[in-house]
Amino acid sequence: MRTTAATVFILALLSNSAAQTAANYVKYVNPLIGTQRMGHTYPGATVPFGSVQLSPDTDQQPHNIGGKYNKDAYKYCAGYQYDDTEIVGFSHTHFSGTGHSDLGDFLIMPTVGPLQLEPGAKGDAASGFRSAFSHENEVAEAGYYKVKLDDDNILAEMTATTRVGFHQYTFPASNDSHIILDLMHGIYDYADKNVWTFARVENDHTVVGYRQTNGWARTRTVYFAMEFSKPFVSYGFKEFGRQDYKGFWRKFDQTKNFPEIAGKQIRAHFDFKTAKDEKIKIKFAVSPVSTAGAMANLRAEIPDWNFERVRNEAQSQWNKELSKVAVTTLDEGEMTNFYTALYHAMLSPTVYMDIDRSYRGLDQNTHSAAGFTNYTTFSLWDTYRALHPLLNIIEPTRNRDMIRSMQAHYDQSVHKMLPVWSHYANENWCMIGYHSVSVVADAIVTGNLTGPEAIRALESSARTARTKYYDGLEWYMSLGYVPEDRNSSSVSKTLEYAYDDWAIAQAAKKLGRQDIYDEFIKRSGNWRNLFDDSTGFMRPKDSNGRFYAEFDPLKTEGQGFIEGNAWNYSLYVPHDVPSMIEKMGGRQKFAAHLDELFTMHLPDEFFAETEDITRDGIIGGYIHGNEPAHHVAYLYNWTDAPWKTQERVRMILKHQYRPTPDGLGGNDDCGQMSAWYLFSALGFYPVAPASGQYAIGSPIVKTAVLRLENGRTLTIEARDQSEDNVYASRVTLNGRELDRRYLTYSDIASGGKLVFQMSDRHP
């Protein structure tokens, strides 16, 4: 059917009406979702992909104590836990949803009364500068956060631009008001994480400095510049760390009104007299490069003291981004789920360069991002699955800049590797695989990365995958699998390397590089080497080629896997599902296997081993709270019962995503959990990114309009959508029935209309 003028008119109307509601998408975002239990999101203020995440921290727990891991640290990965009743202060950098952590730089806390320079003990607000608060007096919006600090009756509000956090504190009348700047505070900190800190009081309202840490990022420095709206009347510092040698600085009384300090553990205070309801505002800029860069960022992004204007602009930015996918749903709760997921999907990677394009590179030199925006915080083991594929659809320009940032990382890497898990000019090597190559291949295969830079990115991918000393790759390349006796989590690594290799091959095919294609398509079959016919699971081998005798497919630990057991991980052959199914005994047996996974009971002893998720994060033995099985519900599409994909997807959407603080069943993982939701809510999912295909599922939205960068729109309708009508009995694309169980990238990018006829019956 050709698109008629009438259709175009209707589409235009739809699109227009969505645009008119755009002003209200922010109201559906609830940043508190995921702040309870395992979501590890933060509720504070930030703009899309912003460098600053200005957010309350409810406690600080060291990552380890005396060299031993402190398990209490884990829930503070994003600094905030909903169940806590106190706020320690507001810091400027936070990861969203990670399962390991860092950051929490530059804590600010307003207080009244006798100066307290210790945060105090949890549960005892009076013991330090921490303050009690209650959720009743708390407002968390996209780009804005407000809370009343009960201890001293101070109203704290905050908003942000890309590089500047904007604080507004409404004080009571007091001759003894303070604003504390804590350079010791951090997330996942421990005794010696602060390598060095430095601060200078430039004048009676301006402070600059930096914090250098050795944590998840081994060698990380963040610079700052802050300005107060009102001059302080006095100020001081205290050093809490040991410093053997003070030198001739002993000449000075450095504790009071001395404008320059450096050391490992420092807290500063700035003192004011405040009238009743007087507002003291702070602009706090960060830079990856220098204090001069931070000051330039501050001046460029917030030239005045108009808090409301900055807040409005932050929220306008959010509306603009959120309106790229305009949906209607059955109820408001789902609207909240959707737009909060979209919000979470637009928090990271984060911009990592000054207003003048300077940034710190992986080689620790200062570089200029010529022709692209430089990003950091690549949680690639998570985000290659759905977040980057989503950005490749709704934000292809930004996703390309992220790839350019990865290429810069490669260029600056002494290993000549694309990032594994990188943040703040550091490779932290977290998790496994080399999934940058999947992000690159997805962009190449879909035509979003072309020309010489595509060739370079392909070659960089190939070289990354040939780094022999990386995580078992030498054996993988010589034996065809990673042997567990040489390198643990060997099955997970083998399977993910095989997928990544296939992704490289797809990019090579697209770019006509037969040499690279041949090399990597061969490697992509390596998953076969660990399939154990006797059990029907993937199973670790030793370096002599023998399967390990001890094997329990329910166990996660010591079985060759990471963040997943054999039940979940064995299904990780997203790039060759038909062959996997064949190995597993054919379509029927495979479907029954999936049924068992979704309906079995995972005994507590095995659940206890699964990291990062709550009990709600599992369905039967299917673990949604971790990523390795994120594609699994869609595998029914390769069996004779694709309707089971639809059923399972709707079940997961319903149970794993709820519009409440505890609404996420596991870590949001820099937007990957949310991106799974977003794809699935729209009715399709990239089982194998870089295939250019998206498996059909079951949408939870009623309608959706994707406003694409190419000017086209894809309109999605789920006709007769309801709680019960979870089956898509018929799918048409531009009026023509879809005779395959997937969309192509071209189907989406061409725009048009995708209609799901929903039903409560399956075939």
C-alpha distances out from residue 760 to 418, 444, 660, 734, Å: 46, 39, 27, 24
Cβ proximity to its own copies, 256 vs 320, nearer residue: 256
Residue 414 in contact with its own copies, rule: CB under 8 A: yes
Output b/e per residue, 305-341; b: 16+ Cβ within 10 A.
Answer: eebeebbebbbebbbebbbbbbbbbeeeebbbbbbbb
Residue 340 in contact with its own copies, rule: CB under 8 A: no
Cβ proximity to its own copies, 95 vs 567, nearer residue: 95
Residue 477 in contact with its own copies, rule: CB under 8 A: no
Q: How far apart are CA 744 and CA 752, in angstroms?
A: 13
Q: How far is the CB of 260 from its own copies (least distance, A)?
A: 5
Strand partners, 213: 194, 220
Q: How far is the CB of 100 from its own copies (least distance, A)?
A: 8
Stretch that binds its own copies, among 255-263, 310-318, 527-535, 579-587 (CB under 8 A): 255-263
Q: How far is the CB of 226 from its own copies (least distance, A)?
A: 14
Stretch that binds its own copies, among 207-215, 321-329, 604-612, 658-666 (CB under 8 A): 207-215
Residue 471 in contact with its own copies, rule: CB under 8 A: yes
Residue 101 in contact with its own copies, rule: CB under 8 A: no
Q: How many residues does the chain have?
A: 763
- Residue 380 DSSP SS3: helix
CB 127 within 8 A of CB 120: yes
Which DSSP category does 45 fall into? B
Residue from 118, 138, 150, 260 touching its own copies (CB under 8 A): that is 260
Q: How far is the CB of 60 from its own copies (least distance, A)?
A: 16
Query: Residues touching its own copies: how many (CB under 8 A)?
Result: 51
DSSP string, 685-748: E-SSTTSSEEEE----SSEEEEE-TTS-EEEEEEET--SS--EEEEEEETTEEP-SSEEEHHHH
Alpha helices in 4-69 (DSSP H): 5-21
Q: How far apart are CA 174 and CA 183, in angstroms?
A: 25
Q: How far apart are CA 730 and CA 761, in angstroms?
A: 12
Q: How far is the CB of 200 from its own copies (least distance, A)?
A: 5
Residue 657 in contact with its own copies, rule: CB under 8 A: no
Residue from 132, 300, 330, 430 touching its own copies (CB under 8 A): that is 430
757: enclosing H helix or E strand: strand 752-759
Q: How far is the CB of 650 from its own copies (least distance, A)?
A: 37
Main-chain dihedrals φ then ψ at residue 292, nearest 5 degrees = -65, -40
Strand partners, 427: 422
Stretch that binds its own copies, among 216-224, 390-398, 438-446, 503-511 (CB under 8 A): 216-224
Find where tokens 């994120």 sit.
Answer: 630
Residue 2 in contact with its own copies, rule: CB under 8 A: no
Residue 71 in contact with its own copies, rule: CB under 8 A: no
Output b/e per residue, 76-102; b: 16+ Cβ within 10 A.
Answer: bbbbbbbebbbbbbbbbbbbbbbbbbb
Residue 186 in contact with its own copies, rule: CB under 8 A: no
Compute CA 322 distance to the chain's CA centroid, rounded to the nearest angstrom. Answer: 17
Residue 9 in contact with its own copies, rule: CB under 8 A: no
Residue 366 in contact with its own copies, rule: CB under 8 A: yes
Q: How far apart are CA 303 and CA 548, in angstroms?
A: 64
Q: How far is the CB of 378 from its own copies (least distance, A)?
A: 14
Site for its own copies in 289-318 (CB under 8 A): 290-292
Residue from 1, 5, 114, 244 touching its own copies (CB under 8 A): that is 244
Residue 543 in contact with its own copies, rule: CB under 8 A: no
Chain contacts with its own copies (rule: CB under 8 A): 63-64, 67, 190-193, 195-196, 198, 200-202, 208, 210, 212, 214-216, 218-219, 242-245, 247-249, 251-253, 257-260, 262, 290-292, 363-366, 414-415, 421, 428-430, 469, 471
